[in-house]
Structure formats: structure tokens, C-alpha cells
Amino acid sequence: MHSFWAVFKRELKSYFTTPIAYVFLVIFLFFSGYLTFKQGFFEMRQADMRAFFMNLPLLFVFMVPSAAMRLWAEERRVGSIELLFTLPITVTQAVLGKFFAAWLFLAIALVLTFPMPITVCYLGDPDIGLIITGYLGSLLMAGGFLAIGCFFSVVSKNQVISFVLSVVACAVLVFAGRPTTLNYLSTFFPAGLVSAIETMSFQTHFESIQKGVLEFKDLSYFVLLIVGWIAASSIVLDERKAS
């Protein structure tokens, strides 16, 4: 556990000792607000945050991989990964330490959007439960995107390639649940296969949680997704460490 915390604190500190964290936060906060008001936030005349949450999947497709691409690609590029594994730490502890540090960083980014719920509460009487579940779904979705980005950062020592692969993988999992995509696929594939593709989409499960419905299938989807991609990252690193 001590090794995990050492990696966790080292990774979290590395975000804020460079301009990376501040540039990321400024860009994320700007576009999350811009896209919300572009969708007609005031014109809807409803005290809720649907306009904010509906844009997060697409925003996360680009923002989360940009935060994840340096997790392991940078370690491999500069050669510090060999030094890391000479320390008394397991691969799993190192992977989890880096992942949870990056996830906390993304949670901080979400917390900094607090002016949005404050504005909604000032303008009306929103359902606080929906806002809380919306943020919970957003945090879980960010964790899922981050786990995917972590894997591609492991398999590539080039940060740009890691970013591109992560964006493509995340975009596929988001757009697979969009109605336009499902309607298009239904013209080629049987209904059962289209339904299976829909259940694999971030969009489907995030929208369900956003509605205030915390079902086991939605929560387990994100948990299994995170665990699966993190386990894959650990396996790849284990093999490279052994070789």
C-alpha cells in the first residue's frame, strides 16, 4: 500500500508542477461552459443540467485521452520506466497508482464546474438528485475513458499515437449508442446484434445514470470496463518487465 501511495502522490504532483494541468483545466472548463450555453441553456427555461451533461461524452472523447497519453508513454520515452520497476513495487500497484492519480485530477476538473449547478439553483428549483447522479455518471465515464487511455499509453511510447488510438477507441464506444448510428446499423445487422452494440456504448449507460436511475447494469458496466482495461495494461507491462 505504501508503494501505491508513493506512485499516486508522485503522479498527481507531476500534473501540477507543469503547465499541463492548468492548460487542461482551462480548456475543459471553457468548452464545457461554451457547449452548454451554445445548446440554448437559457432558452430551455428549465432549471436542470441536461445541456451540460449531454455534451460531456463528446468532450471527454478528446479531453480524457489528452490527460492519459502521458501516463506511461512518457515513462517509456525517457526511460524512467526501468527505474520505476527497480523499486519495491508491483506492476499492479504502479498502474493503479497512476490511474487513480489521473482519475482524481479529472474529478478535480469536474468539481471546478461548480458554478454551473450554482447557476441552475439560482435560476430555479432543480432536482438535486439528478445533478448528483449526473456527476456520478460523468466521473464513472471519465474513469472508463481514462482506463482506455492508460492502456494505449502502455502499448505506445509515442504520446501522439497513444492519444489518437485512445480518441478512436473512445469515440467508437460513444457513437455506438447514438440513435443515428443504431438506425444506420439496423439496416445491415439483425436487431439482436444492434441491441448488443448499444449495450456496449458509453452513451447508453451514461444517459441512464443521468436520468437518476442507478441500476446495477449501468454501474457494473463502468466498473468492469475500468477493471478490464486496467488489467490489460498490467498484463502488457508485466510481459515487458519480464522480457
- The pLDDT tens digits of the residues spanning 152-195 come to 988 887 888 999 999 999 999 988 878 788 788 788 888 888 88
pLDDT above 80: residue 110: yes
Of residues 103 and 75, more confidence is placed in 103
Question: What is the domain extent for residue 28?
Answer: 2-242
Whether this prediction's pTM lies above 0.85 is answered by yes
Measured between alpha carbons, how far is 4 from 88 in angstroms, rounded to an integer? 10
**Contact assessment for residue 206 and residue 215, using Cβ atoms and an 8 Å cutoff:** no
Report the candidate in 198, 104, 200, 109 with the shortest Cα–Cα distance to residue 143. 104
pLDDT of residue 37: 77
Total number of domains in the chain: 1
**Radius of gyration of the chain, Cα coordinates, nearest whole angstrom:** 19
